[in-house]
Amino acid sequence: MKKRILFLSILLIFTLTARSQPLDWSTKPLQSERSRFFDALHYIIRIRLDIDRKSFEGATTVIATSLQEGLKTCILDAEEFKVTSVIDAEGRKLSFEQKPNELIVHLARPYNYGEEIVFTCYYHGENPKKGLVFVTESTEAPRMVFSDSWPDHVHHWFPCYDYPNDKVTNEIIATVEQGLKVAANGRLVGVFEDPARRLVTYHWSQDQPHSTYLIFLAAAPYTVVRDSYKTLPVSYWVYPGDEPKVKPTYGQTPKMIEFFNKTFSYEYPWRKYDQISVPSGGGAESTSATAMTHRIMVEERVASDFPAIRIVSHELAHQWWGNLVTLRNWAHTWINEGFATYSDYLYYRFEMGEEEGALYLQDKLKAYLREAKTRYIRPIVTDRYEKPEDMFDAHSYQKGALVLHMLRSLVGDPSFFATISNFLHRFAFDVVDTADFIRTVKATTGQNLDWFFDQWLFKPGHPVLEVSTEWNAAARVLRLLVKQVQDFSRGIPVFRLPVSVKFFTSGGNEIHKIWIEKKEQIFEFPLAEKPWLVKFDQDNVLIKEIYYPKERAELLFQLRHDDVIGRMEAAAALSSFKNDRSVIEALIDRLRNDPFWAVRQRALESLAEIEAAGRTDIFQKACSDPDSRVRAAAVLALGNLKDRKNLAFFKKIFQNDPSDRVKAEALIAIGKTGDPSAKTFLRQAALIPSHRDMIRKAAQDALKLIEKHQEKKNEKN
């Protein structure tokens, strides 16, 4: 039989030949760690917030020590507010100069190395573009204000040294109107009422050192729902009315803390843990007080469809990775984000099971490869960037996490988890760089893995592999040819890769470990018989693209007998066999019988590609699948037929399916039929409340589809 050449990497949407990249990262400006001439120790931030006027008045006391002999000036970052005076600890007025982005304070006398310096800056500001966000009441959020300090915006609401390589303690003494509650880092010292002026003051103390971008405050009419992990206070600050959503959204937080305590062998390091609703687009891991987008909050009925477990665990993991140990400068962003991303995978796998974890890890690989193929490649660790935000991408998050997963596979679980625990203990409350981590790996494992870190952290790209097999029946030898065909002209190295290859045979399965170190290598394996399946990178560890030929029989075997990632790959690859009844029947079998939802979904999608029009009954039956994601995929496949005969079926799905995701897909399917008689039904559906208003939006989109269909019909007439 003629061999069919197929892509079997998880990135089936990409071609082997890399597209020209729109951005050459190497042209970005060279950055270096910032120098400082004083060591900031403590900030006392007194601030009066006026939400209606979008204004603030502040008095920030700076306590620092000199890092040189004869220090005469302190230069602070300060932007968008007006400094009116600076007073030292003896009450003397100090002269100062305020420039667009800095405050230069002239000290009363020269300070020698190690001497303590204390002065207070008085200032006021209004509606800053960065740092503080004043929010007008809407359907999305109440009147409120919250800080957006990351990555270097804290100096927009108080003067400070705003760079992560200097850790400080701080107090926030915030005064707001009565009826509002103020959340911030650390321990609540007290709440002080001023009934005459209808004001209330919250005093928070963060008495363990952290970097300035982690300083946070928010003021809103919060409801505070109390929880705990053992003696650790855990609280959820939510908008009024969101109390029923707290448990389905945040209920696993104590369990997550326990999991990370054990996984990292380092107890949660802060005085408490709060998660605080804000109207932003994601999460921000401020020390002991994570700012969390309000949009993740879910009702119990939709929690299974839209779980918050990933973002909640990710931001919690930052309390160790990023807050306890912190990047020294932005070149090492992966230490914050790669470690936190790998941590959220670890918890997700623990909670959801091995197969869900494997799929989640593959999703991270897809995210990195998508960025590498469509935007740019860069070293994970690089001192070339225009602004810190540049470094917060799929290279730092997803690729950084995948590098940790490969390191774990290389050194083994005991050594890996001992390494990350030692790293935390050695550098707790300190700033770190990648060299610190590499030294910790050497000290803990005894292994020199410089080659590993050089290719994965300090070089760009990933291996693109051409893999082929040839069976010599006479010699009973399987020949495996591996080529690295990545674009070496772009600085991508020839990778050194430990790879596990699994052979499925009637006599049992064998796993062989090989080392790929050249552009082209041949490996030979004596076997009793031709394998039913050869699984390259059998544990799905490598960051890679792969071009691998497989025959139909091998794919059909893989579809039933491989792990979840392999079964999904086989289901996707089999869509190339357009008129093969054995392939169609095998995919139908997996759609009906595979125990994992994502395999069923991929089998359905391949069936839709092969012969959608002839599979209406199969797709309709799949609309009763126990998993909403498979049901939604089935409705999508039916909807793409644009057959008005299915209109009543789509209406029934909308009325009876409990999932908002499936309901929304059913409405879109109705729109694809182009049937104008469905307009009334769609308008009524648009009135039904749903998670993130998705049903109303789907109904509106469906109405637009019908209108476009009618316009095209009128043009033809």
Structural domain that includes position 532: 463-542
As a whole-number percent, the residues of the chain with pLDDT over 90 amount to 93
Confidence of residue 9 (pLDDT cuts 50, 70, 90): very low
**183 beta partners:** 218
Same domain for 423 and 487? Answer: no
- CA dist 383 and 119 (Å) reads 34
Residue 287 lies in a domain: no
Which residue from 202, 199, 145 is spatially nearest to 177, judged by alpha carbons? 199
Residue 181 lies in a domain: yes
Same domain for 65 and 166? Answer: yes
Same domain for 452 and 479? Answer: no
Tell me the pLDDT tens digit for each residue of 386-439: 999 999 999 999 999 999 999 999 999 999 999 999 999 999 999 999 999 999
Choose the final residue of a domain: 542, 573, 592: 542
What distances in angstroms separate CA 603 from CA 321, 518, 547, one per listed residue? 39, 36, 21
Same domain for 75 and 109? Answer: yes
Same domain for 385 and 533? Answer: no
Residue 310 lies in a domain: no
CATH number of the domain to which 513 belongs:
2.60.40.1840
Start-to-end C-alpha separation, the chain: 51
Pairing mode of beta strands 520-526, 477-484: antiparallel
Tell me the pLDDT tens digit for each residue of 648-700: 999 999 999 999 999 999 999 999 999 999 999 999 999 999 999 999 999 99
Confidence of residue 579 (pLDDT cuts 50, 70, 90): confident
Choose the final residue of a domain: 457, 475, 498: 457
Which residue from 576, 627, 578, 619 is spatially nearest to 599, judged by alpha carbons? 627
Confidence of residue 11 (pLDDT cuts 50, 70, 90): very low
pLDDT, position 10: 31
Better pLDDT: 713 or 26:
26
- CA dist 370 and 376 (Å) reads 9
pLDDT, position 712: 85
Average pLDDT over residues 34-59: 98
Contacts with 599 (C-beta within 8 Å, 6 or more apart), sequence order: 564, 567, 568, 571, 590
In one-letter notation, the amino acid at residue 16 is L
Average pLDDT over residues 348-365: 98
- CA dist 168 and 171 (Å) reads 10
pLDDT, position 282: 85
Confidence of residue 613 (pLDDT cuts 50, 70, 90): low
Residue 611 has pLDDT above 90, yes or no: no
Arithmetic mean of pLDDT over the chain: 95
Residue 558 lies in a domain: no
Same domain for 211 and 349? Answer: no
Average pLDDT over residues 71-90: 98
Residue 6 has pLDDT above 60, yes or no: no
Q: In what order do the strands lie in the sheet with 533-536?
A: 508-516, 497-505, 533-536
Is the CB of residue 15 less than 8 Å from the CB of residue 109? Answer: no
As a whole-number percent, the residues of the chain with pLDDT over 70 amount to 97
Largest CA distance in the chain: 98
Residue 207 lies in a domain: yes
- CA dist 204 and 210 (Å) reads 15
Tell me the pLDDT tens digit for each residue of 114-138: 999 999 999 999 999 999 999 999 9
| Max avg pLDDT among 5-9, 21-25, 702-706 | 702-706
Confidence of residue 715 (pLDDT cuts 50, 70, 90): confident
Residue 8 has pLDDT above 50, yes or no: no
pLDDT, position 2: 31
Same domain for 68 and 193? Answer: yes
The DSSP result for 402-418, as a single string, is: HHHHHHHHHH-HHHHHH
Is the CB of residue 548 less than 8 Å from the CB of residue 536? Answer: yes
Residue 42, helix vs strand vs coil = strand
What distances in angstroms separate CA 128 from CA 82, 122, 143, 148, one per listed residue? 11, 17, 16, 11
Same domain for 450 and 524? Answer: no
Residue 496 lies in a domain: yes
Domain count of the fold of the chain? 3
- CA dist 591 and 687 (Å) reads 34
CATH number of the domain to which 80 belongs:
2.60.40.1730
Residue 557 has pLDDT above 60, yes or no: yes
Provide the whole-model pTM. Answer: 0.94
Same domain for 185 and 170? Answer: yes
The DSSP result for 295-320, as a single string, is: GG---GGGTTTS--HHHHHHHHHTTT
Same domain for 498 and 413? Answer: no
pLDDT, position 20: 44
Average pLDDT over residues 95-104: 97
Contacts with 226 (C-beta within 8 Å, 6 or more apart), sequence order: 233, 234, 235
Residue 377 lies in a domain: yes
Which residue from 304, 276, 65 is spatially nearest to 184, judged by alpha carbons? 276
Same domain for 511 and 453? Answer: no
Residue 589 lies in a domain: no
The DSSP result for 439-482, as a single string, is: HHHHHHH----HHHHHHHHSS----EEEEEEEEETTTTEEEEEE
- CA dist 45 and 537 (Å) reads 54
Same domain for 415 and 485? Answer: no
Tokens at residue 56, please? 């603030």
Confidence of residue 22 (pLDDT cuts 50, 70, 90): low
Residue 4 has pLDDT above 70, yes or no: no
Choose the final residue of a domain: 179, 194, 221: 221
Cis peptide preceding 151, ω within 30 of 0:
yes
Average pLDDT over residues 634-654: 96
